[in-house]
Amino acid sequence: MSAILLDQAIVHYEALGRGRPIVFLHGWVGSWRYWIASMQVASTSFRAYALDLFGYGDTAHDDSRYSLEQQAALVSRFLDEMGIGKIAIVGHGLGALVGFYFAVQQPGSVDRIMAVNSPLDFNSVNAKLRTSTAVELMDWLSSRTPEAATALADASNSDTRAITASMNNFQADSLFTQFRNTDVPCLLVYGQNDPSISVPPAENAASLSHNIHQINLEGSGHFPMIDEAARFNRLLIDFLALDSGLSPRELELKEEWKRRVR
């Protein structure tokens, strides 16, 4: 286990590979652990980092640090301390919102973002996600396969107050609107069968800016990186392989994704 002390708080992280840096940020249920397979795939060409956000896994549980602003500050402080420059972010749920917030604050530090099962507005969040404990959410959202049980082994360590704080911030802010103004390339990925986040309809996706693209995975729920690991990781590598600044809409030129893009 790797850890770093940031502002007198322990922050747990893991790292694999060499190359351009990618930061994986987990969601409201679980920890860095469910990114292991994706990190292993990415690490053949990139330096992959995965963090436990405040209130999750082995990072400090401190309710004064649970806002989206404080979680994004964790990412910023981590990058500074580790001497990491411009990054790609792969964020899931909460991690995607933290990635958006960080990009709004420091757009020059973000090369691209893959936002997985991320709500774009507060109304797209199921009330159960806003009010349940971490254990209840795991029971609701997990596919209950052996792979999911292993990947989500840290879910019971999550502080429910961290979920609540992030939801309160998200309700108060027009976060995605602010992020769109940064022009940072973004690929939105949704598990079509996720009960907790409403998938944006096709007409909404069609109106996104040229640097934002949406792909839905029909066989996935809330955890595409677990439910369809091979397909998700293939999409991840294709996205990371795009030239810097290139729109993720270029992904639709790949034959294997043509039937899955909007």
> Terminus-to-terminus CA distance in the chain, angstroms?
40
> What CATH number should be reported for the domain holding residue 6?
3.40.50.1820
Q: Which of 4, 6, 53 minimizes the C-alpha distance to 33?
A: 53
Is the four-CA dihedral 69, 93, 237, 244 of positive or negative sign? negative
Tokens of 150: 């292993």
Q: Are 66 and 78 in contact (CB under 8 A)?
A: no
With a cut of 90, say whether residue 122 has pLDDT above it: yes
The confidence score (pLDDT) of residue 136 equals 93
The confidence score (pLDDT) of residue 134 equals 87
Domain membership of residue 62 as a residue range: 2-260
What digits encode the pLDDT tens for the residues 29-38? 999 999 999 9
Q: Are 94 and 129 in contact (CB under 8 A)?
A: no
What digits encode the pLDDT tens for the residues 3-56? 999 989 999 999 999 999 999 999 999 999 999 999 999 999 999 999 999 999
Q: What percent of the chain has pLDDT over 70?
A: 94
- The H or E element containing residue 239 is helix 229-241
How many separate domains does the chain show? Answer: 1
pTM for this predicted structure = 0.94
